[in-house]
Structure 1
């Protein structure tokens, strides 16, 4: 778990689809994402405002240590979380749009590696840099 409100720059990784991008923190939180374009409003902007910016955390419930790296020469990010009870890998990718599909399809896949790890997914989008509330249908 994070002790400071903002991650160090070395703990951030960029994923993108040639139209937009997101910053993923080593602890499993998406800190920044402008969807559907680079020059659009942020949906997740915790990097700017810890309280109102919004983020998407996918990480173990119990204390954990994490490492992350890109898969080969791709823009797929793999984060490995290790707890006292096991290990899990999370892959994050922004899927490039195909023939008219909208950009910004964010995919997060968790894979158990060892033991048992309970994950929490805390989705807290804050459209327009946190100026409006998200509406779920």
Structure 2
């Protein structure tokens, strides 16, 4: 995927933060921990290699489709390659009623599933801190990656191959994959279970 930036953007959010995602499922803009916070993803304004984004780049990408789940802020983007193979990326910020209050964590969920064939994709996960000036210190566990900045640490829990993500190496998408980005905290339950529950409750 080497297409230029587009202003055809979908917005997700939960009244705690928001994010802008283009028609190729690239996370182009997101400020944390508030709407006026540090733009940890800023490729909307800086499309160069110095910019920060979160992309699922499909090998031999040809076309895409994007729509919201009706009456929700859950965004679904479908990417197809030149052989007709494809994936669907579901993006949302959890927001639902829980324990007598509105639950709206600083959490972004990205779910990837195969639509057809055995497509290959590259995950580019490149947050930056201090208004784009600071590259994070990166550490990893068996199912998470930590991005540490001067004033904030983000943790991405995922059930995708960590080594391929860190090296930005293409791999075959042969099963559903879940990515949950938020504060540097462990999840109360499994990654897939948490992502599924958050989506069900948000929808």
Asked whether the equivalents of residues 36 and 102 of structure 1 are also in contact (C-alpha less than 8 Å), the reply is no
- Taking structure 2 as the reference length, what is the TM-score of the superposition? 0.60
Q: Distance in 2 between matches of 1:62 and 1:48?
A: 26
1:35 and 2:32 matched:
yes
- Taking structure 1 as the reference length, what is the TM-score of the superposition? 0.87
**Which structure carries more relative contact order (alpha carbon 8 Å, separation 6+)?**
1
Q: Distance in 2 between matches of 1:107 and 1:20?
A: 13
Deviations 1:79-133 (A, max 9, x none): 0111214121110112238679883211111111111111211101011221111
Tell me how many residue pairs correspond in the alignment: 134
2:146 alignment counterpart: none
* Aligned partner of residue 124 in structure 2, secondary structure: strand
Whose Rg is larger?
2
State the superposition RMSD in angstroms: 2.0
Where does structure 1 lack aligned partners over 5 or more consecutive residues? none
Q: Distance in 2 between matches of 1:100 and 1:85?
A: 41
